[in-house]
Amino acid sequence: MNSAGSPGPPRFPATGRRVLVSGASRGLGRAVARAFAANGDRVAVHYGSRADEARRTLESLPGTGHALVHGDLTDPAQAARVAGDAASALGGLDVLVNNAAVNVRHPLASTPYEEWAAVWQQHVAVNLLATANLSHLAARRMIDQGTRGRIVNIGSRGAFRGEPDHPAYGATKAAVHALGQSLAVSLAPHGIAVSSVAPGFFATERVADRLTGAEGEEIRAQSPFGRVAAPEEIAAAVLWLASPEAEWSSGTILDLNGASHLRT
């Protein structure tokens, strides 16, 4: 019986949840992990190669019961181990945030074919297949637990407006959006809501050099607010999409770009 006295799983909790954030060693992943921890949730901080930065993320989280999990998500066996380690450390999984991604510049006109092919394979492996595999692994645990759940994917504005210098990034993020909508339909009967955010440009360590000089001015001018987002603004939206109140937003792709690109 749920809290209302009717059959079915209990209402999805607003806090105290078990959360796996992929690619959480720095940048947006770190901001998302901190947002959930500040909300009273327990977080598994995943990293692929930046162990020291991941530990700093873990140490910065408020509250207790958080964990560090490691693995190369492009390897299905390691992805399964990441999900298993997170579930073991937290006692299950209630929320998955698919944040791990790669974004390598590769304009067609100046990229040799061998490099082009390799970059596309890398983007598909990290941005799309790792997201699909972790989603399966987390959702199966939510189903087997008999609890409700949330999956939030980090997509991109580039999926809609085009990325001429980063076409594999734009294409794989569009696929992530489509994957999220497909899973939203298939997982709703299990009480699992799936949604995506589509951020525009936001400031992280990785892109700090691009925000200086003339290029920085051009990037900030993309938004009528004259600035780029802070990671914490994106993280706040992710936290809401994982909330009990956001179940009816399952299937949505939430634009977070400061009116820099308006879809119709």
Specify whether 169 is catalytic: yes
User: For this structure, is 173 an active site residue?
Assistant: yes
Residue 65 structure tokens: 């019961």
CA-based R_g, the chain, Å:
18
Please tell me which residue in 47, 135, 169, 260 is annotated as part of the active site.
169
Residues 251, 184 contacting (CB under 8 angstroms): yes
Catalytically annotated residue among 22, 25, 135, 156: 156
Q: Burial-class residue 44 by CB neighbours within 10 Å (0-12, 13-18, 19+).
A: buried
The separation between CA 61 and the C-alpha centre of its own chain, rounded to angstroms, equals 18
CA-wise closest residue to 227 among 197, 198, 202: 202
Options 22, 25, 47, 173, the catalytic residue: 173
Residue 153 contacts residue 133 (beta carbons within 8 Å): no
The two structure tokens encoding residue 129:
């297949």
- Active-site positions? 156, 169, 173
